[in-house]
Amino acid sequence: MMQRKVTLLASLFIGTSMFITCQSSKDDAKQNSDHAPDTTWAILPFNKIDSDNPVLLPGDLQFNCPVIGKTVKWEEKDVFNPAAVVRDGKVFLLFRAEDKIGRHAGTSRIGLAVSDDGLHFTKRNEPVLYPDNDSLKIYEWEGGIEDPRLVETDEGVYVMTYTAYDGKIARLLVATSRDLITWKKHGTVLNGKYKNAWSKSGAIVARRAGSRIIAEKVGGRYWMYFGDTDLFMASSADLVHWQPLEENGGLKSVLKPRKNYFDSRLVESGPYALMTDRGILLIYNGMNADEGGDPSLMKGAYCGGQALFDKSDPSRMIARLGTPFIRPDRDYEIAGQVNHVCFLEGMVPFKDKWFLYYGTADSKIAVAVNDVIAEQAR
Ligand SMILES: *[C@@H]1O[C@H](CO)[C@@H](O)[C@H](O)[C@H]1NC(C)=O
């Protein structure tokens, strides 16, 4: 006990002096601080629910794929990367499921699962969003439909961003629904000269209202963070038609990877971006670089980070955590379709807690919980 205290004090001291050195060299005008960087804006900590994780596994449900006209075991291979929403007091997961057929190590579709307690889920037999013989098949076949993220509108319409993969290019698309079951596809987020650009992972700025997460305008427009290299932005008047934020004739980068950190290879949006009193809180995924990454993590590991943006200028980052708040260290996070992955995509206010759902090793789904919904999230 004593030994541990001493070590803790020593590391606090080292941490503090390192912080002062780095801070004063960066900004002499700023007063030297005798405490660690302020992280009170972040939602911390999240505890993995080991008693129930992983909370969703692949199974042998079948449905008739309209594109190939055959019955497929649509969630036989892996289930992962879920969006989450609370509706009628229950948690719904919209999860990515892969079959075992086709050229791309399985075609992805979006399934729906429901839970009374946020831990025990029942899957709907058939997927709710999938490639079909429709006008978007050119983007969605045969890689499929991946990685949903979800917000609601004040009027109770669910807006999903998802990745369509044709086998060569990943593109960000939008779909809407009133009941989470029947979805209307609206097409690509990026158009014009960006139509064939690689795009993924759209996190729309939203506020919490009780257990609902509702899209919120900033400066008269809706905003979305997207991307899986840097983060970029797009804005919209109606959540369906989006306009990218540009700078010097290209997409404007608003969050970049950092050398020597857990997010040294890439940054990629997590769930929606949450409007708080302190700013717009974005939970994001960071991938560790093979060279020049965080040496305490495996090469290629995906961990969770948090960044804060100015609530009147969503493109201006104010702060971000220096270390990941969630990292792959459980068996099912370490080994799977892609090893060493915690991939965060769904977060709901439920029973006065934050339930954060994430894909583990691109194979299963787990949950981590933050016990207090602080006043920071209105
Ligand atoms: C979709 O198109 C494919 C290929 O043209 C065809 O084989 C299949 O029967 C079609 N499915 C439906 C439901 O019309």
Residue 35 has pLDDT above 50, yes or no: yes
Q: With a 6 A CB cut-off, is 322 part of the ligand 1 pocket?
A: no
Compute the distance between CA of residue 115 and CA of residue 242 in angstroms, rounded to an integer. 33
DSSP readout, 41-105?
TS----EE-TTT-S-B-----EEEETTTTEEEETTSSEEEEEEEEEETTEEEEEEEEE-S-SSSS
Question: Distance between the two ends of the chain, CA-based, in angstroms?
Answer: 39
Q: With a 6 A CB cut-off, is 69 part of the ligand 1 pocket?
A: yes
**What's the pLDDT score for residue 31?**
43
**What's the pLDDT score for residue 335?**
98
Distance of CA 237 to the CA centre of its chain: 23
Q: Confidence band (pLDDT; 50, 70, 90) for 374?
A: low
Q: With a 6 A CB cut-off, is 134 part of the ligand 1 pocket?
A: no
Q: With a 6 A CB cut-off, is 219 part of the ligand 1 pocket?
A: no
Q: What is the token pair recorded at 203?
A: 């996190």
**What's the pLDDT score for residue 34?**
56
Compute the distance between CA of residue 371 and CA of residue 37 in angstroms, rounded to an integer. 22
Q: With a 6 A CB cut-off, is 66 part of the ligand 1 pocket?
A: yes
For residue 221, which phi and psi values (nearest 5 degrees)?
-135, 155
User: What is the Å distance from ligand 1's center to 352 Cα?
Assistant: 47
Compute the distance between CA of residue 61 and CA of residue 97 in angstroms, rounded to an integer. 11
Q: What is the pLDDT of residues 336-351, one digit of tens each?
A: 999 999 999 999 999 9
Q: Are 122 and 115 in contact, with CB atoms under 8 Å apart? A: yes
User: What is the Å distance from ligand 1's center to 298 Cα?
Assistant: 44
Q: What is the pLDDT of residues 61-112, one digit of tens each?
A: 999 999 999 999 999 999 999 999 999 999 999 999 999 998 877 999 999 9
User: What is the Å distance from ligand 1's center to 75 Cα?
Assistant: 21
- How many other C-beta atoms can be found within 10 angstroms of the C-beta atom of residue 132? 15
The arithmetic mean of pLDDT across residues 225-246, rounded, is 98
Mutate to test the pocket of ligand 1, among 133, 135, 136, 141 (most ligand atoms within 8 A of CB): 133
The arithmetic mean of pLDDT across residues 217-227, rounded, is 98
Q: How does strand 122-123 pair with strand 108-115? A: antiparallel
Residue 18 has pLDDT above 50, yes or no: no
| SS3 sequence of 209-253 | ECCEEEECCECCEEEEEECCCCEEEEEECCCCCEEECEECCEECC
User: What is the Å distance from ligand 1's center to 132 Cα?
Assistant: 9
Q: Are 365 and 80 in contact, with CB atoms under 8 Å apart? A: yes
Distance of CA 110 to the CA centre of its chain: 15
Query: For residue 133, which atom of ligand 1 is closest to its CA?
Result: 1
Q: What is the pLDDT of residues 182-209, one digit of tens each?
A: 999 999 999 999 999 999 999 999 999 9
Instruction: Please state whether 140 falls in left (phi above 0), alpha (psi between -120 and 50) or beta.
Output: alpha
**What is the SS3 assignment for 377?**
coil
Q: With a 6 A CB cut-off, is 37 part of the ligand 1 pocket?
A: no
* Dihedral angle sign, alpha carbons of residues 291, 293, 295, 296: negative
Residue 122 has pLDDT above 60, yes or no: yes
**What's the pLDDT score for residue 272?**
98
Going by C-alpha positions, the residue among 109, 160, 101, 105 that lies closest to residue 132 is: 109
Compute the distance between CA of residue 307 and CA of residue 280 in angstroms, rounded to an integer. 8
Q: With a 6 A CB cut-off, is 67 part of the ligand 1 pocket?
A: yes
Per-residue burial over 154-163, b if 16 or more Cβ lie within 10 Å, else e, is eeeebbbbbb
**What is the SS3 assignment for 160?**
strand
**What's the pLDDT score for residue 197?**
96
Residue 20 has pLDDT above 90, yes or no: no
Q: With a 6 A CB cut-off, is 133 part of the ligand 1 pocket?
A: yes
User: What is the Å distance from ligand 1's center to 55 Cα?
Assistant: 35
User: What is the Å distance from ligand 1's center to 150 Cα?
Assistant: 30
Residue 23 has pLDDT above 60, yes or no: no
Which residues are CB-neighbours of 110 under 8 A, at least 6 positions away?
Answer: 94, 95, 96, 97, 127, 128, 129, 130, 145, 148, 162
Specify the residue with its C-alpha closest to ligand 1, atom 4.
67
Specify the residue with its C-alpha closest to ligand 1, atom 11.
66
CA dist 244 → 83, 194, 251, 262 (Å)? 23, 9, 7, 27
Q: With a 6 A CB cut-off, is 70 part of the ligand 1 pocket?
A: no
Residue 244 has pLDDT above 90, yes or no: yes
Q: With a 6 A CB cut-off, is 192 part of the ligand 1 pocket?
A: no
Whole-structure pTM over 0.75, yes or no? yes
**What's the pLDDT score for residue 85?**
98
**What's the pLDDT score for residue 105?**
77
**What's the pLDDT score for residue 10?**
38
User: What is the Å distance from ligand 1's center to 186 Cα?
Assistant: 21
- How many other C-beta atoms can be found within 10 angstroms of the C-beta atom of residue 266? 19
Compute the distance between CA of residue 76 and CA of residue 376 in angstroms, rounded to an integer. 40
Query: For residue 67, which atom of ligand 1 is closest to its CA?
Result: 1
